[in-house]
Structure 1
Amino acid sequence: MSTYSIKDLEQLSGIKAHTLRIWEQRYALLSPKRTATNIRYYDNEDLKLILNVALLNENGLKISKIAAMDSRSIREEVLKLTESSPSHSDQIQALTHSMIDMDEERFGKILAFNIDKLGLEQTMFDLIYPFMSKIGVLWQTGAINPAQEHFISNLVRQKLIVAIDGQQLVRGGKKFLLFLPEDELHEISLLFASYMIKSYGFQVVYLGQSTPFDDLLSVYRVHRPDFLLTVITSSQTAEFAQEYTTNLANQFPQAKILVSGFQVLAHDIVLPQNVRKMSDFEEFKGILLENSPETVRE
């Protein structure tokens, strides 16, 4: 069972710790437990309740009214709201709740609702990436456990793979070679890049996770891609990111190299002439549009 401090609840719900304490005292919304050393903590049930209360309160229900409802009524109101709400913040809260519960069915319904309404690309921009950014921070601070993070990441990964499999085979157009460095396993950004590249009429050669450099050289010789794209996120250091980027530029001088990821964006990497840093997928979309063939997607 996961345990949370009141600061964890604040980060996950968006409700200030001071406000949570007032709700706890005035309305008995929370029942903190105590460790053997008398330190207060909260469990999954407390977290789920506060996520639900925060969502209803943000949508106009007074806290006094919410406090008078039983847990079943609160849950029913939240389900009705999240199944129809156009608010991205509401949907992100619902995804967070699904993550805490590891509720695959509910998570899938939320994604399906948004993809049907917005399309996969816009759902990734407006919902999934803000959500993944949020849980990435929470995982690093220990507010959620690795199992919860892996559960959600794998569900998103599955959705992207299915969407990519459903795309038509692209012939013609510039070619992109996509890969992650050795020991780098965070593949969601790379999969989404693959989806976007095909959507905009380009070809993709996808190598995926943990690609040995010798294999990269071999594939390049066969396919001669116009672009190389990689993401350096968590498994490496800033020094590695600099060395790896410089090596890519030297080994593939004829290609345009696109790099992104935490270790690239958070540090002052010196970029060789044929390397471009991408800060986000809006920028990547601009790159695709700049190089788009005449037959862009309808």
Structure 2
Amino acid sequence: MMYTIKQASTLLGIPAVTIRAWETRYGAIKPVRTEGGYRLFTDKNMEDLRFLKVQTDEKDMTISQAVRLLKEQQDLREQLLDNKPETDAYPGKQAHQDMIDRLYDSLSNFRTEQAKTMVELGFSMYGYDMMIYHILFSVMIKVGTEWEEGRASVAQEHFITQFITQRCLSFFHLFPVDERVPRMLALCPAGEHHQAGLLLFSLFLRKKGADVLYLGPDTPEDGIQKILQEQHIRIICLSLTDPKLMDQTFAFIDRLRASNLELEVVLGGQGFQDVPEPYAAWVLPSDNQDEWENWFQDRVLRF
């Protein structure tokens, strides 16, 4: 659809003189010109003008700063489109490695707005599953590895982890709760700081309609019994990457189940190695969603 400058001004609440200035002085947009020289604005022009208005009115940017940010977004979109696979089927991580590397670079250099733009473009191009399971979590795992090997600072690891965690948790409010599915509690036990697997599994459960109380990493035992009872928790999900914490985690589970005999337990993460019974029956593969689906159908829906 095409809009005259008067229509654009009215719809966007931007004076026509300002629109002209943004075009001619800052090169922010390139409207179509009729044979008579009149400006006609495309839907993309309108989207860009709306973006500039938000940056200048709500975020206190100067127009030159806003235009620079707009140009960065446009360049980024073109770069991502150039690297987008021809098929929507996931052919392996390498097909999206450029996206992972660019996002990691932006976040490790604390370029928040650029990272936000990249994530939004990624969701629009690749969709929810691809961005969550194959890109965002690859970035989270990468910074954890880089930190452990001394190539990323504590500040970088915390910043990137928090950025991705907050973006993922925002989806918790979008998926409807199925009242037929029992309430669940998700946590990493005390001493376990890596939450990527737990967050991934919790998102899977939320998509299935589960009301998941997400406590995150390094959760102390104090108060958990009260939560289980007062919130009517039927299933507890624990994630562990450090096998040295396995024995104390089992002792923690035993204490919880002593007062909650019908509590269902599910365990995940590389920390659960050579697990004895009865705990072995509760371990799910960390990266196999088919197994997750089978568990959900067989164990959760029976409640």
- Shorter chain as normaliser: what TM range? 0.5 to 0.7
Q: Quote how far apart the aligned CAs of 1:229 are.
A: 0.3
Unpaired segments ≥5 residues, structure 1 = 1-75
Aligned with residue 153 of structure 2, among 122, 145, 154: 145
Root mean square deviation, CA, Å = 3.3
Match for residue 178 of structure 1?
186
Match for residue 160 of structure 1?
168
Contact 1:259 1:276 in 2 (8 A): yes
Q: Does 1:268 align with 2:274?
A: yes
Match for residue 122 of structure 2?
114
Match for residue 101 of structure 2?
93
Paired residue secondary structure (1:195):
helix
Q: Does 1:278 align with 2:276?
A: no
Q: Does 1:82 align with 2:80?
A: yes
Contact 1:236 1:263 in 2 (8 A): yes
Contact 1:190 1:231 in 2 (8 A): yes
Match for residue 33 of structure 2?
none
TM-score w.r.t. the length of structure 2 is 0.60
Paired residue secondary structure (1:284):
helix
Residue identity matched to 1:155:
F
Cα deviation code 1:63-120 (max 9, x no counterpart): xxxxxxxxxxxxx998743354223111112122213322222222222222223433
Contact 1:226 1:255 in 2 (8 A): yes
TM-score w.r.t. the length of structure 1 is 0.60
Aligned with residue 123 of structure 1, among 128, 131, 138: 131
- Going from structure 1 to structure 2, the CA distance change for 1:165 and 1:116 (only over 3 Å counts) comes to same
Contact 2:235 2:264 in 1 (8 A): yes
- Going from structure 1 to structure 2, the CA distance change for 1:97 and 1:183 (only over 3 Å counts) comes to same
- Going from structure 1 to structure 2, the CA distance change for 1:275 and 1:236 (only over 3 Å counts) comes to same
Instruction: Say which is worse superposed, 283-292 or 108-117, in terms of deviation.
Output: 283-292
Aligned with residue 237 of structure 1, among 237, 241, 245: 245
Partner Cα distance (2:211, 2:124) in 1? 26
Match for residue 27 of structure 1?
none
Contact 2:192 2:242 in 1 (8 A): yes
Instruction: Say which is worse superposed, 277-286 or 97-106, in terms of deviation.
Output: 277-286
- Going from structure 1 to structure 2, the CA distance change for 1:274 and 1:97 (only over 3 Å counts) comes to closer
Residue identity matched to 1:256:
E
Contact 1:228 1:257 in 2 (8 A): yes
Match for residue 18 of structure 1?
none
Partner Cα distance (1:84, 1:292) in 2? 43
Paired residue secondary structure (1:270):
coil
Residue identity matched to 2:207:
S
Aligned residues: 217
Q: Which has the higher contact order (CA 8 A, sep 6+)?
A: 1
Residue identity matched to 1:82:
L
Q: Quote how far apart the aligned CAs of 1:131 are.
A: 2.6
Unpaired segments ≥5 residues, structure 2 = 1-73, 85-94
State the percentage of identical aligned residues.
18
Larger Rg: 2
Partner Cα distance (2:144, 2:194) in 1? 11
Contact 1:190 1:230 in 2 (8 A): yes
Partner Cα distance (1:95, 1:210) in 2? 26
Q: Quote how far apart the aligned CAs of 1:140 are.
A: 0.8
Cα deviation code 1:137-156 (max 9, x no counterpart): 22111112121111111110
Aligned with residue 142 of structure 2, among 112, 117, 134: 134
Q: Does 1:197 align with 2:205?
A: yes
- Going from structure 1 to structure 2, the CA distance change for 1:77 and 1:173 (only over 3 Å counts) comes to closer
Paired residue secondary structure (1:237):
helix
